[in-house]
Chains A and B, each alone.
Chain A
């Protein structure tokens, strides 16, 4: 078990506390242990990279933190709350408020413009139209896409799509930013742009970033790198 420590971060409270978390998937007659007794603590403001080979449990752990998957055993406190006691609708509301999730394949809605894609999570809030517009424009400016607001995903490059996805993840000002191989589908220039944005969000806006990656270059942007193998977290 290790605590990631980052200099110049104001908040040092533990935002994630995983204790002996295990996850077993049952596929037909087979049982696959995706996570095996994982314990980890991450402090607010950290930028943590989770590395490991395919099938090592990185994404599973990320999904647990985002409350989109549940462990078979163990306890996981996120922002001080045991998120697995939540109902489905409570989990959804909690994710909307506290989690920004960036996918490897961007996962933008093809019929919506960049602006509308970013606005999507805000439709679930009580913000009015003008407030939503302000939030969306702020997020798009932050990723450098304020001039692409009316573009559909198919009219954007891969790197731009991922930046829109990051804007969508941060538009509701979440505490945690989770990224599942955010540079996996990008060329090196675009990947660098995306990683710079993540670094800026961490350093300037004090977002806690947890990034799953295979890429050592991407991991170098994180302050702490943790390795998983066969579902087990290797010592720091």
Chain B
């Protein structure tokens, strides 16, 4: 036996209570890990190298307002701009309006689309097929897998914003580093069906020539249209995506408040368990001290127990969060933000250990200060 195995045996001496404690800590850490993963993916991840080179330009007032199509050529003329493609949210319904059947549909330019999204994988012949078919579309391979779509298949999307339905031929399946759950089609299809959309674009995606060009292009685009009837707001692709998130409200405060509540709950659960456990063993503490255990060793034993329980719960919770994140990442879209990285799990473990440590500190310190004579008199 070692002091470590002594700690382990004590941690599980009341099996039911220990399991319940581990489960409650595990569930809390599951939430904490997912929240940290969301925070990391939204606010800390820089994205791919290619993503860092991409900028999105939209109407300064709101994404709801469109911009003239000729902006594309003006943007293309700005030094540092490699490629620029338009994008339009179609917002149609596939099959029915159940949330399970929701996916994004964008109108764009097939000729240059994959020059902007270079890291997305799609065979060249499929790109060519899409470019040749005005009613053609390319589909995220994960989305195609979900619906069992095949190349050549026709899908019908009912318009809700625009008074037309899209009858699209699937010409290609692309694979993005993070699943997008999106369908891209030729914007001209919508323009021909909906006359008022002719010459209008919802946003532009710009690929800068180099990282150094990104801030210059960012400023130059907005400066170009500053005094026009449709002024623009240009931001990085990441910031553009976060803009969608901000529509939900103060997501940062939401995540922080959940994290705070989780940490507080773990502290209470763990502190309560340790306080009960230590109180039950008052006499044992006195015996240990009689045998020669110092205050420091007794403190270490009890704190160690709390850390062991918290760590087991923390590891269990973060592993479940990892598995949930793996499943969510396949779903793509914002659910992809639940993807848990090993570094996030490590932070969760450290958080669990720290919380175990702090929750046990006061009851353990009190136990370590217990007088032997008083402890031996204790009836518990």
The residues of A with any CB-CB pair to B shorter than 8 Å are: 63, 66, 68-69, 88-89, 92-93, 95-97, 101, 103, 107, 109-112, 115-116, 119-121, 123-124, 168
Contacts and interface: CB of A to CB of B under 8 A. Distances in A.
Contacts of A63: 372-373
- If over half of B's interface residues share one DSSP class (helix, strand or loop), that class is named, otherwise mixed; here it is helix
Contacts of B288: 120
A63 B371 CA distance: 12
Contact of B292 (A92, A111, A116): A92
A116 to B, nearest CB: 5
Contact of A69 (B2, B294, B297, B373): B373
B243 interface: no
Contacts, number: 62
26 contacts: A63-B373, A88-B294, A89-B294, A92-B289, A92-B292, A92-B294, A92-B295, A96-B291, A96-B292, A97-B292, A101-B290, A101-B291, A112-B1, A112-B6, A112-B9, A115-B1, A116-B6, A120-B1, A120-B288, A120-B291, A121-B291, A123-B1, A123-B6, A124-B291, A124-B297, A168-B291
A97 B294 CA distance: 13
A116 B4 CA distance: 13
Interface of B: 1-3, 6, 9-10, 13, 283-284, 287-297, 372-373, 376
Given A96-B291, A168-B291, 18 more contacts: A88-B295, A89-B296, A92-B293, A92-B295, A93-B292, A97-B292, A101-B291, A109-B287, A111-B9, A112-B6, A115-B1, A119-B1, A120-B6, A121-B292, A123-B1, A123-B3, A124-B291, A124-B292
Contact of A68 (B1, B290, B297): B290
Task: Give 7 nearest A-B pairs by CB, closest first.
Answer: A96-B292, A68-B372, A92-B294, A107-B287, A89-B294, A111-B13, A121-B291
A68 B6 contact: no
Contact of A66 (B283, B290, B295, B296): B290
A95 B290 contact: yes
Contact of A93 (B2, B3, B10, B294): B294
